[in-house]
Structure 1
């Protein structure tokens, strides 16, 4: 593998001159630049990106911090971020925080040490002060961290209300809700959307709301207990697709037929929702657009370009399938 010294020797110039050409820093005559570029081409020289990032204090890299890479929503989001970043010439470092404050801070420190140009983050634990201390552009996605921070989310409450009304229009007379983690903004909004529709119904009970923690196994356990305690329930709105799939599995274990005896609807629109048996009715988020828009905004901020709008609340869409 050729080194920068080999390039300098072939071009008949100093290592410092090659460095100036590579980093486009300082004056280099046109003839000299052409000789260096020709030497680089002949030797197929690849610059040491780590060294270049240390020199320039930039790395053409962005960080992406997500709370749970096991949830299929986030790999699909990461794919959109990676696709878009690549078009702009940036690489992506993916970090899985597990919603752990200490782990999250450790990732922030590591990303700073690697001179990332900016960060996209989905977090319910990060604070505005942490963002300010980074001193690089940050875009929040899926969850709002603080007012004024560039943010892209979806119509969580609207989608939840639509899902619940849909079950009622399908003839469900006792509708339960499997909610996401306490304190997580989008989980609270989806629960609020459910409550908006059912709170005045004579049959509504607080015990119809159970915690699924955005996790399939937790949802299975919660649904088993829910349906044993309230066998009259004939509809379930789960706050994400993974929990809805868990609810379908729990119903199957109890011998309850979906959708004949129990209608189930999820939220997210992950690809997995279209291959379950039965296929899952869901509130679809524009996942790819979320990642694409967040990355485009971040790149504009990194390049100090005019952004204009910095807060987006994207619409959602109900897709009916066989689970209802």
Structure 2
């Protein structure tokens, strides 16, 4: 078994110099180069636990999120993991399934394992528990307070832009579809932006929004489509709070043989813009969230927090419209 002494001997430096290189303590460049080459030649793997005791850092970040099922969350997780790895951190994935008590268990686990920080995509108020644990945290999509850095997209403006785009496409009677709850503020913001624009401009609209669980909401979309779209073409523009809801709606339009044709007589705009296996069949026109920018910004902010640097505490990224096959060109 290769030891730190073997590395020091091959590199021609002291054991302490090898330890400094491993723990990211600055040493003379020529020494660092020799140590890194010796580690590579010998295939030496530093003891992560011993390193954490010495540096009081684990170089591990916990990501608490409600699900990896939605493409947006999957993409965000992947981009964060890549950015953390580039910075020398490992990602501890904590899938809460929207369970508040499970989220608190993850915070407790993070405290016990002494992770260096938390990236949080949660719609529950875990902020007091994180503060008690004294762990740096960056909140994504939910604003907690002025002491926790927050990053999201401009969801309200995204709703406004969706309504504007539908009008540009010639739509005159609009509909909104979204699953709302007290926990999920981003969906409410998207809906509020859409509705406020419609009301300010005297645009007729209907809406389906519900606090049902995911499976029940799929059935509600089906009933909504059957009631409002099966026997008429009154509503000619639809904004859904997520791309997946647009996919559910398209499935229902087909199953009920509705006269409305997405991209032709019916314009549909979703929200997220992250490609999924499901929408390979028909690419959803969408208000795209800049997932890569959100991931990079959140990780950078957390790393700066961990290093004790000053950070920005409120950041909104703009959304952009991407053309798919559910709106006319």
Instruction: Name the TM-score class by shorter chain.
Output: 0.7 to 0.9
- Cα drift, residue 291 of structure 1: 0.3
Maintained 8 Å contact 1:237/1:264: yes
Maintained 8 Å contact 2:119/2:139: yes
CA deviation profile, 1:103-160 (whole Å, cap 9, x unmatched): 1011112222222111111111033312211212111112222233101111101111
Could you say which residue in structure 1 is the equivalent of 2:320? 317
Maintained 8 Å contact 1:214/1:240: no
* Residue range with higher mean Cα deviation, 169-178 or 57-66: 169-178
Could you say which residue in structure 1 is the equivalent of 2:228? 230
Distance in 2 (alpha carbons) for counterparts of 1:271 and 1:3: 47
- Cα drift, residue 228 of structure 1: 2.1
- Under a length normalisation based on structure 1, what TM-score does the superposition of the two structures give? 0.83
Could you say which residue in structure 1 is the equivalent of 2:28? none
- Go from structure 1 to structure 2 and tell me whether the alpha carbon gap of 1:18 and 1:317 turns closer, same or farther (over 3 Å shift): closer
Q: Give 1:297's match in structure 2, choosing from 296, 301, 320.
A: 301
Maintained 8 Å contact 2:236/2:267: yes
Could you say which residue in structure 1 is the equivalent of 2:194? 194
Gaps of 5+ in 2: 26-31
Q: How many pairs are equivalent? A: 315
Could you say which residue in structure 2 is the equivalent of 1:248? 250
- Under a length normalisation based on structure 2, what TM-score does the superposition of the two structures give? 0.82
After TM superposition, the structure 1 = structure 2 runs for residues 1-324 of structure 1, keeping only pairs within 5 Å, are: 1-2=1-2, 43-183=42-182, 184-199=184-199, 201=202, 203-205=204-206, 208-211=207-210, 215=214, 217-231=215-229, 232-256=234-258, 257-272=261-276, 276-307=280-311, 309-324=312-327
Gaps of 5+ in 1: 26-32
Distance in 2 (alpha carbons) for counterparts of 1:58 and 1:294: 19
SS at match of 1:236: strand
- Go from structure 1 to structure 2 and tell me whether the alpha carbon gap of 1:238 and 1:57 turns closer, same or farther (over 3 Å shift): same
- Cα drift, residue 99 of structure 1: 1.6
Measured on the aligned residues, the alpha-carbon RMSD in Å equals 3.4
